[in-house]
Structure formats: structure tokens, C-alpha cells
Amino acid sequence: MLHIRLIITFVGICFCIIRGECEQYPRRFSGYCKEYDGKRLELVAKFIPDDPVIFEAGGHYGEDTVRLAKRWPNGSVISFEPNPAAFIRLSETVKDYESIHGYNLAVNNYSGTAVLNVCYGSTGDDPVFEGASSLLEPSKCMEIHYKGPKVKVPCVILDNWCMKNEIDHIDFMWLDLEGLELQILKSSPIILSTVKVIYTETNMFKFRKGTTQFESLRSFLEKSGFKLLSHWYNEGLQGDAIFVNKELFDLAFEN
């Protein structure tokens, strides 16, 4: 989850709060606009229109979805949540917001059916951790912490879904994909070329098999026309980053 969340990590770390301090994984920042740590949506707002098309991958229970809708009341929020149980709660949370359009779907690098590894923590029965569910299987050292059922869910390539639903651009991507960021972005170059800002979870630790590592994500996005604006993170662990379309970035910082 991109908001304040518990990060389940390997034995010896147990649980860290991403906004807190962890002696083994000190809090760091790189980029620009560090002062916006507590008002990150305000920073994003500097680069997107007042009526943006927003795509949220990993809506969970809908708390962040509502935050996005409230910040941009004239915009449209498309929210994907693959976990059927979480999607029921999301639907209830967002029911009073006409600008939010929720879908019980996973975004993936292929269309069809995928297996969602639902996370219920070390006991395998605690839904409080299901925000850490992923299409990726746990890495060997994390299996003990990522116990839970495997659920078959429908998945789509974002480019294909957008074409089918006549979505010709996305202004702002909000990605909470638990390690699948690089795979889904690479599979949808058409819609990615229209994006102005990407806010994404970042990983420096291999929580799952195939977890996108931050430097690989950064390299790909820079080659795709983006620049890193801000990165708040715990060194060697996990964080959140804002990437901005290079032309908009250069325009903002040309002076």
C-alpha cells in the first residue's frame, strides 16, 4: 500500500512502518521537493490538469481512491483491485463518488486469468495484511510472512483495456502493484506515452520472485521519457517515488 502501511519483511526485521525510522534501513530522500513529504498530491497537482484521468492499480479498500477523487473532484478515477474480498470493500467505500469507476481486475503483462497470492501474514489467516497481495509469488525468505490463499483473478494488459474502453490517455498513474510495476508498464507503451505523472511504490529488496527493483524501474522510465522528481524511501527496503514527464519536468525547473 502506498499510504502509511506495515511492511512485512524477513526474520530479524519483523514489521517496519514505512514512514518511521528503522535502524537497519534508514530513511532517505533523493530528488527534488522533499518538503512535500506530507502533501504529495499537492506536488503531483503541479503537473496535471484540474480534470485529470487517473488510473489506480491496487485500489485495496478504496481509501486512497477516495483521496484522489476528493483532490480532483472534476477528474475521473479508474481503480483496479483484483482481490474479490477487497473489491467488495472498495465498492462500498467509493459508492457515493460518481467520478470513481472500480473494476475487479488485475493489470498484468498478458490478458486472461492470473493467480493472486493473497497475503494473510505469517499466520495465514489475518486479512489486515491483504494489501500486500500480489500476482508474484513470495521469494524464498518471505514465504513465511506471505502466507495465504491463491485466488484466480481476471487480468488485462492496460493498453488493450484502454483501447477497448476508449480511454485515449491517462494523466496520472498511481501504482501499488507489489513488485509488478516494470512488467505492466513495459506491456503498455501506448498509454504510457500519454502519462504526465507516475506515483509508485518502489522496492530495493526482493520481497517476491521477480519484484521490480527501483534502479531497473528508474532506468526504464527515464528511457521512456520520464524523470525522477522525488523518492522517499527506507534504504535497502522500500519507498514511494514520483516520476514526471520529462518535458513537464524541464519546464518546471528551467529556471
The predicted model gives 227-233 an average pLDDT of 98
pLDDT of residue 21: 47
> Residue 101 pLDDT > 70, yes or no?
yes
User: What is the DSSP pairing of strand 197-203 with strand 172-175?
Assistant: parallel
Tally of residues, the chain:
255
- The pLDDT assigned to 254 comes to 77
**Which pLDDT does position 22 carry in this prediction?**
56
200: its cell numbers = 509508485
How far apart CA 61 and CA 20 sit, in angstroms, is 23
Q: What average pLDDT does the chain have? A: 92
Spatial distance between the Cα atoms of 174 and 191, rounded to a whole number of angstroms: 14
Number of domains forming the structure of the chain: 1
Reported as a pLDDT band with limits 50, 70 and 90, residue 24 is: confident
For residues 208-217, average pLDDT: 97
* pLDDT value of position 216: 98
For residue 7, what are the CA distances in angstroms to 183, 221, 225?
Answer: 22, 25, 31
Inside any domain, residue 141: yes
| Structural domain boundaries enclosing 34 | 6-252
Cβ burial of 98 (10 Å; 0-12, 13-18, 19+) is exposed
- Each residue of 173-185: pLDDT tens digit? 999 999 999 999 9
Q: How many CA atoms lie within 13 A of 81 on its CB side?
A: 27
Give the residue-averaged pLDDT of 222-248: 97
Residue 15 has pLDDT above 80, yes or no: no
Determine the 3-state secondary structure of 53 from DSSP. strand
**Region 129-155 average pLDDT:** 95
CA torsion, ordered 36, 236, 21, 42, to nearest 10 deg:
10
pLDDT bin (cut points 50, 70, 90) of residue 223 is: very high
pLDDT at 245 over 70: yes
Angle between helices 63-71 and 84-94 (to 10 degrees): 30
Q: Is it the case that residue 160 has pLDDT exceeding 50?
A: yes
The cell 480532483 sits on which residue?
72
The rounded distance, in Å, linking the Cα atoms of 209 and 23 is 26
pTM of the model: 0.92
Q: Give pLDDT, residue 20.
A: 45
HEC secondary structure over 120-153: CCCCCCCHHHHHHCECCCECHHHCCCCCCCEEEE
Report strand pairing: 150-156 vs 112-117.
antiparallel
Chain Cα centroid distance, residue 219:
18
| Residue 1 covered by a domain | no
The closest of 230, 226, 216, 220 to 248, measured between CA atoms, is 226
Write the CB contacts of 82 (distance below 8 Å, at least 6 apart in sequence): 104, 105, 106, 114, 116, 133, 135, 153, 154, 155
pLDDT over 80 (residue 18): no
Other CB atoms closer than 10 Å to residue 231's CB: what's the count?
Answer: 20
Residue 1, pLDDT above cutoff 60: no
Residue 12 has pLDDT above 60, yes or no: no
Tens of pLDDT, residues 196-209:
999 999 999 999 99
**Is residue 115 situated within a structural domain?**
yes
Question: What are the C-alpha distances in Å from 251 to residues 38, 41, 64, 152?
Answer: 24, 19, 29, 45
Q: Is the pLDDT of residue 5 over 90?
A: no
What digits encode the pLDDT tens for the residues 25-59? 999 999 999 999 999 999 999 999 999 999 999 99
Q: What is the CATH number of the domain that holds 93?
A: 3.40.50.150
Instruction: Please report whether residue 99 resides in a domain.
Output: yes
Q: Which pLDDT score is estimated for 17?
A: 37
